[in-house]
Amino acid sequence: MSVTSRALALLGAFDAGHASLTLRQLAQRADLPMATAHRLLGELVSWGALVRTASGSYEVGQRIWELGLLAPVPSGLRQLAAPFLQDVYKATAATVHFAVREETKALYLDRISGNDSIPVVSRVGGRLPLHTTGVGKVLLAYAPEDVQSYVLSHLTRMTRYSITDPRVLEEELRAVRRDGYAHTKEEMSLGACSLAVPVRNGCGEVIAALGLIVASLDPERTRLVAALEVAANGIRRSIGERHFTQ
Amino acid sequence: MSVTSRALALLGAFDAGHASLTLRQLAQRADLPMATAHRLLGELVSWGALVRTASGSYEVGQRIWELGLLAPVPSGLRQLAAPFLQDVYKATAATVHFAVREETKALYLDRISGNDSIPVVSRVGGRLPLHTTGVGKVLLAYAPEDVQSYVLSHLTRMTRYSITDPRVLEEELRAVRRDGYAHTKEEMSLGACSLAVPVRNGCGEVIAALGLIVASLDPERTRLVAALEVAANGIRRSIGERHFTQ
DNA sequence: TCCCGTCCTTCTACTGGATGGAACAAGCTT
DNA sequence: AAGCTTGTTCCATCCAGTAGAAGGACGGGA
């Protein structure tokens, strides 16, 4: 167990639900003696990886934020896609999502928040299940066999409308591949429906998904899906021959 | 010189101009023997702080990106302001900037790229001088005395229109405080003009700046400034009593 | 085809920095 | 005021990190 791995364990103790941690919590979560954690945290703070708040707890520092913006995958694909999310937002005024699949989860690379007040649980940099969101269903529909079978056998319930029967979901995934878009009705959070389309690279592989959140699907589903498809094609052209796999 | 500080030095070797580095470069920039750098980099990669590309060079990893999104200052103020940047973008279709002052630089917290093709040099997470950008001039106009005098005596030239005479700039800063907005004319990059307004917190302190880039100032300067001011006031209301200083 | 330079990786004896228990200090709560 | 929780400092022990050196994997030039 190296020093470096201990310091990284401290950084790893932070996540979406734990953005602010005390020394004790950090020591526990990283499984380190408090004295050791204390010293390492001191170094991390003095470098700027963490900051100490007035109340004494630790939070992720600005320097890590800046560093993160240099990361190639989010930075590259995300920046490429950003203007097209804008377009979708302008055309629909809905909350727009851009996500990739990471293992058996949807990783949200970007989001534009609509000015309606639909409850949205996504967070940029956060992960949500593949079977309860529009972008998730798209990513799942085009995922390798083993990922699909794993997800299909682990369908957790998020709301009373979540699909938990593998056969029902399998049928939906077929529909996604047939129709070219996915939809959800309050399967992730009550009051929120979604539409999503695949984003392909130059070779035609699905590498991401583009979706939006609305209060109800039907009044203008066709127009919304069309807006998403236009943007997805735009992203595809923009990707050109560059090799974004994943 | 602790192990932790060596590992952090390796992370610190990455910046906007050096997003991809080889082992040799990293060892040089972090001032470490290659063998040591190699081992530490191995640990950083296996944790996900860095990734190794097919060509063997190192880049910042996704895990750092995710971690950075938990950082309070950018995350908090930025998320708060994001919808208002959207509003400005919708009203103007120009590139919109949101920045805070950090020491003697403007730190860009967010940006929406307009669909015009004006050359923009800013980068989210990047820093630009205070005296050659709209947001910079705003931040400088309301900065403490010592910051102002430091910047005024270090006026570097970016284009042939950059202001390098302290007395000229001082006069402009007075105008900013008087008129409530700043402007630049090709002072940072040729072909780009800018407008910017201060963003205040509940106490009336200037904590950030909101600006936009246009090809020329005059046709509708009033309307553009008005759009910025509306958004800045919206952010202020949104901040409410929360204590964003800086 | 061979050589040589560059860049990366692995090995290992040595040593100096990291460890964590314990004692101390500073807040809160009862 | 006593007692609890949480954070900080110290220091003897010792194990993990160090970096030199040697080995490998390319790739370009003669």
Does B73 have pLDDT greater than 70? yes
Q: Is there a contact between B64 and A68 if contact means CB atoms under 8 Å apart?
A: yes
The A residues from 71 to 90 touching B (CB cutoff 8 Å) are 71-75, 82-83, 86, 89-90
Query: What domains sit in chain A, N to C, each tagged with a CATH number?
Result: 3-67 (1.10.10.10), 72-239 (3.30.450.40)
Q: What is the mean pLDDT of residues B75-96?
A: 89
Residues 11-40, chain B, CB closer than 7 Å to nucleic strand C = 22-24, 34-35, 38-39
Q: Is the CB of A56 under 7 A from strand D?
A: yes
The reported pLDDT for the residue numbered B188 is: 95
Give the chain A residue whose CA is nearest to the CA of B115.
A83
Measured CA to CA, the distance from residue B117 to residue B215 in angstroms comes to 9
Task: Measure CB to CB from residue B68 to each of A43, A67, A90 and give the nearest one.
Answer: A67
Q: Which residues from B are below 8 Å from A74, CB to CB? A: 62, 65
Does B45 have pLDDT greater than 70? yes
Instruction: Determine the Cα angle at A67 with ends A61 and A71, to 5°.
Output: 135
Interatomic CA–C1' length for residue B26 and nucleotide C4, angstroms: 25
Q: What is the mean pLDDT of residues B155-167?
A: 96
Q: Which residues from B are below 8 Å from A10, CB to CB? A: none
The reported pLDDT for the residue numbered A245 is: 59
Mention every residue, 6+ apart, whose C-beta is less than 8 A from residue A144. Answer: none
Give the model's confidence band at B245: pLDDT under 50 very low, under 70 low, under 90 confident, else very high: low
Q: Is there a contact between A3 and B5 if contact means CB atoms under 8 Å apart?
A: no
Please, are residues A156 and A223 in contact by the beta-carbon 8 Å criterion? no
The reported pLDDT for the residue numbered A74 is: 73
Q: What is the mean pLDDT of residues B154-159?
A: 95
Q: What is the pLDDT along chain A (246 residues), one digit of tens a residue?
A: 788 999 999 999 999 889 999 999 999 999 988 889 999 999 999 999 999 988 889 999 999 999 999 998 777 888 889 989 989 998 998 999 999 999 999 999 999 988 777 888 999 989 999 999 999 999 999 999 999 999 999 999 999 999 999 999 999 999 999 999 999 999 999 999 999 999 998 888 999 999 999 998 888 899 999 999 999 999 999 887 666 655
Which residue is the nearest neighbor of C6, CA to C1'?
B24
The reported pLDDT for the residue numbered B74 is: 73
Residues 41-80, chain B, CB closer than 7 Å to nucleic strand C = 56-57
**C-beta atoms surrounding B160 within 10 Å:** 8
Q: How far is CA B31 from CA A244, B1, B13, B50, in A?
A: 33, 11, 10, 18
The reported pLDDT for the residue numbered B133 is: 97
Q: Report yes or no: B47 at the A interface, CB cutoff 8 Å.
A: yes
Q: Which residues from B are below 8 Å from A65, CB to CB? A: 68-69, 71, 74-75, 125
Does B143 have pLDDT greater than 70? yes
Q: Is there a contact between B51 and A72 if contact means CB atoms under 8 Å apart?
A: yes
Task: Suggest the residue from A6, A53, A57, A64 to mutate for an interface test with chain B (most B CBs closer than 10 A).
Answer: A64
| Chain centre to alpha carbon of residue B45 | 28
Interatomic CA–C1' length for residue B28 and nucleotide D22, angstroms: 22
The B residues from 138 to 177 touching A (CB cutoff 8 Å) are none
Residue A140's identity, in one-letter code, is: L
Q: Which residues from B are below 8 Å from A71, CB to CB? A: 59-62, 64-65
The number of C-beta contacts closer than 8 angstroms across A and B is 127
Measured CA to CA, the distance from residue B217 to residue B181 in angstroms comes to 13
Q: Is the CB of A54 under 7 A from strand D?
A: no
- Strand D nucleotides, any atom under 7 Å from protein beta carbons: they are 6-10, 16-21
Please, are residues A48 and B71 in contact by the beta-carbon 8 Å criterion? no
The reported pLDDT for the residue numbered A242 is: 66
Buried b (16+ CB within 10 A) or exposed e, B208-228: bbbbbbbeeeeeeeeebbebb
Q: Is the CB of B35 under 7 A from strand D?
A: yes
The A residues from 189 to 228 touching B (CB cutoff 8 Å) are none
Q: How far is A64 from chain B (nearest CA, A)?
A: 5
The reported pLDDT for the residue numbered A85 is: 94
Q: Which residues from B are below 8 Å from A66, CB to CB? A: 68, 125
Does B242 have pLDDT greater than 80? no
Q: Is there a contact between A5 and B82 if contact means CB atoms under 8 Å apart?
A: no
Per-residue pLDDT tens over the stretch B181-207: 999 999 999 999 999 999 998 888 999
Mean pLDDT value across chain B: 91
Please, are residues B20 and B57 in contact by the beta-carbon 8 Å criterion? yes
Nearest nt by C1' to A25 Cα: D6
Q: A29 exposed, middle or buried (CB, 10 Å; 0-12, 13-18, 19+)?
A: middle
The reported pLDDT for the residue numbered A16 is: 86
| Chain centre to alpha carbon of residue A96 | 12
The reported pLDDT for the residue numbered A202 is: 85
Mention every residue, 6+ apart, whose C-beta is less than 8 A from residue A24. Answer: A34
